[in-house]
Structure 1
Amino acid sequence: MKPGRYISLLWRVSIRRQLILGFALASLALMLGFGYLVLEQQRDALYRSSEERATSLALALTISGTSWTLANDLVGLQELVQGFAKTPDLQRAYFLNMRGEVLASTNAAEAGFFVTDAISRNMLASTTRNTVILINQKNQLAVAHPILSSGRHLGWVRVEMSRDSANQNLANLTEAWLEFVLFAVLTVSAVALALAHRLTRGLNHLMHVAAEVEHGQAELRSDVGREDEIGVLARHLDRMLDALSRQEGKIRNLAFYDTLTRLPNRRLLLDRLGQVRSASKRSGRYAALMFIDLDNFKPLNDTHGHHVGDLLLIEVARRISNCVREQDTVARFGGDEFIVMLNELTADKESSRFQAGVVAEKIRSILAEPYLLSVMHEGETEPSIVEHRCTSSIGVVMFINHENSENDLIKWADMAMYQAKEGGRNRVHFFES
């Protein structure tokens, strides 16, 4: 199994593992981030310190060796530079004249030789009167300082130092930091394990109760005797089970009716549509399915809020219901979409189409009338009236003894509705196969 898949499986299986893994990863990320910043700051500080030491050493050699260089006293220069030979991290220090000849060096064998490397040639060609950093790398630092006397440029002092001490300090600090990170992550994981055990113990009991209720033991309750969030959840679960027992009929009603308009919802619509198709096939009479979509509904929601939009949907449902027979079905399909199903029309297609068209036009006309919505705003004692105009586009499909599915009929009515919209809205369009 791939590592990523294994970690994903550990994460999904249980809350306990999620808590432990989440706490461990979070603490690890925080410690790594914080430690990285600290190490970066410490490294910068140590490297600056090594630069300052090298610069100070070069300046000290320059000040002490200027008179010896002016007198061309190579013995004195050699004794001077050898006095600094045991400086920690010093690799070498040497005096150069302007021709690049080594006058004196901590490595005495270099005296009399000429430097020819590119860095040294650039240094000799420089006219600066300040300290120059020649090499600034992770493991090595080289600085140079000009030897000046009465405005004359006599030569250079070059100091090369390693950064072994600084790097060793960083290594020691990194090792101590990693040990601390490991200790911190283990400690946080142990605390997370204890918390997860206490938390999931109550959750496991609630899971057991829920499973038993699912299998028919509706009288079982989940009191865990705790006052924390798990206890609160258990008491809420008990009250929910009590409410479900008392209101099972209401729950069944919610499954088949839209809570806002009290019209049949999509599930009940599909069931009734299946029944109408079967009845139409037996009787030989046509039936009609209308797909209604409001044309100017969104601006009302955007301007006055969804609660005002809900008032309009309720009024739309009432108006449509008043336009059809008791045996017909008006359903809310979703959002601002409604479906009307007319059954038991006639055996003649044109006559049935005419009847459906009359009802559709009646619905379109009444939905186009102004809406006066009574809205109570916060802080007001009297409701205010919101007037809105909202037309509808209606697609109609006729069917009899139909072999196609309920979803096909709805799709065709929907297509006809979109053709009504494309035709200018506020109109009725019949689907033509």
Structure 2
Amino acid sequence: MRLSLRQLLLGSLRRQLMVGMALVVLLMMLLLMWELAQRQHSEVKIRQTEQATTMAESIALSSSVWVASRDLSGLQEIVDSAAAFPDIRYVIVLDRRGQVLAHSDAARLGQYMNDLPEEPNTQTLQDASTLLDLVSPVMLDARHLGWVRIGMGRTQFNTQVERMLQSGLWYLASSIALIGLFASITGLYFTRRLNAISKVADAVQAGDTGRRVDIKGSDEAARLAQEFNAMLDTLQQREQELVQSRDALRIAATAFESNDVMFVCDADWRILQVNSAFQRVTGYLPEEAIGKAPRDLMGSGIQTQEFYEVMNESIRSNGSWQGEVWDRRKNGETYPAWTTITAVRSESGDVTHYVANLSDFSARKAAENEIKTLVYFDSLTMLPNRRMLMGRLETAMHAALSTGHLGALLFVDLDDFKTLNDTLGHHQGDILLQQVANRLQSCVREADTVARLGGDEFVVMLEGLSKDVAEASTQAEAVAGKVMQALNQPYDLGTLTRSSTPSVGITVFGKHQESLDEPLKRADLAMYQAKAAGRNTSRLFDPKTQAAVTLRADLEAALRTALEEEQFVLYLQPQISEDVRVTGAEALIRWQHPTRGLVMPGEFIAVAEDCGMIVPIGNWVLNTACKQLALWASQPAFAHMTIAVNVSAKQFHQHDFVEQVLDALSRHGAQASGLKIEITESMLIANVDDVIVRMEELQHHGVGFAMDDFGTGYSSLTYLKRLPLDVLKIDQSFVRDVLVDTNDAAIANMIVALANSMGLSVIAEGVETVEQMQYLARHGCHAYQGYLFSRPVPAERFETSLADFLRPLQPAETITQV
């Protein structure tokens, strides 16, 4: 029979005591369980986040070298090893742009992720009830190379919380049952013991988890106290297990298996754990290594005590150290290892472990040395080759400018070596070249350089000569005399004895700033002067030629200054249509020199082509034209106009030319349809297929193309049909005499007919008279550009002169009446 609430509360004292005590204990136990659950829930969550962070940072540190070298297989091994840990959903290594380099899911390789943070710090991207997603930057020598991204599930976390709650609820239910039973037997006795339990509960809630209920006996109250204590013991044991699990995961995440040697030491540098690669690389079994100090076990004795002191100081200050260490295998062999050591700290900041990663790169180092020999030395004579010579020449030129002591180059070429080589055979020729190399080295100081450029060409570089040009020239000529005397001696070629003479060109460098190639060009020119003088002699570079070279060098330097100081100006020459409209303009560069005034492109474009400045100058023109297009877009009178930009072959064949054009349009907000790129027929000679691919890609974005100076160059109709052109331009050389030269007239007419047959527009350049314009109009050319309408003018003047440009077309009937 059910009891009413009034009967339950106002019935017998036993019942009231039972209900009252049950309610009180229930409330206290719930509060206790809630407090412990909240604390452990928070702590478990924090520990799991720390574990994931430690693992991500460890993987980032371990994979930095692999990311830098783009060793995708090594990165994949690291990712696969890390993905094997419990509750790991995914492990990803990305480069700085967000491209996936390694992924625990192979199907995701090569994809991009765009939700990475901007700053290279370890950050949590998602902290949900089922997933923890965080990233850690991959750094090498303070350079941000990429990211490590780890997704860790909350399965174990939620399971532990559920078990804890189930256990707590079970103990709670048991406790309530025991308390109810005890209350039904005695009130006062139970109340006194309940207070004891309550006090312990309060202490545990306050943080004193070591307190326990001290009640003797075997009755219900004693059993309740024992169960309560057992519950606290269980919770405390679970907490200790979580701490141990965190430490184990932290160590495992740092010292996971990989192809590199990895081992873990305690705070006293005693080895605790090694991976499988340790035995393979060092030769030591795990039991031989555990308990030993790494330096005692593998130290080669090559590093000094100071080296290890610096290493330890870096670990104390920065938490890690990496560098090259020479270690010793069990068999006594020493080998270079790229070593990374990381300190693992407790929550209080104390070092608890050291994790070391050793990458044996002895084979790589040997290969690098071999490659260096092949790259920087001539295989026949073992002299420095051109690449090494140019590197040393660059250093010598900087030193000469700094100290004032000049240097010199001697360009040595053997006279008639080809005849000797063809007559005696290449083997005998190689022996002679080797003897020439030895003799040249005997003529110079150890600090000087003797290099072989190839064939029978050698270069001697002298450093630390006099500060005076004349005296330095005399010193260089003296060395040239020794070279002449040494190389004029007979050569013993085994069964044969042959003579060979040299021609030597001499030049001095270091008096002023110049490009790296200039001294070599001068020495080469002086060598040909020696050959022209009868051979078997030496010649100092002609000062008159030197002056011309210096002038050219000054012009190159001035071009660089002009680009840096924005001395270039964009001029525009209008393009006119027969229907009395300015349809656009051609962009032309001018140089506003601070002392020479306005310099025309004919005076500096050729030099820019030779010295490589044509590419940055071309980029300046492209960007300035796009900026002008963007300004016109907001003006109704100019919004329809296009700007044609001439592009050099060197600029067009840059590997990122398409990206340069699209970037210029995007940066300035210009419409691609307003940009016309003018190419020349000379571009087609190198690689027409590559030209077509680039043109089609840009045309896909709306950029137009015109063939400039058509008919003056390659003029292959086969290639012309394949090119995605919009416009053919009749060169001004045909337009100039179109009224008096039948050949020029025929060519102009042919270009117009060809353009019409291919569906292309045509524009005539260099139109200077109304008669020329009228003739072209009668034969189907309806767009013009030339001095008849305007010379090239600055952009500001262009915008105010539209009516002046159209004046030659007024009245419009003039054209149709002729």
TM normalised by structure 2 equals 0.23
Higher-Rg structure is 1
Higher RCO (Cα < 8 Å, 6 or more apart)? 1
TM normalised by structure 1 equals 0.42
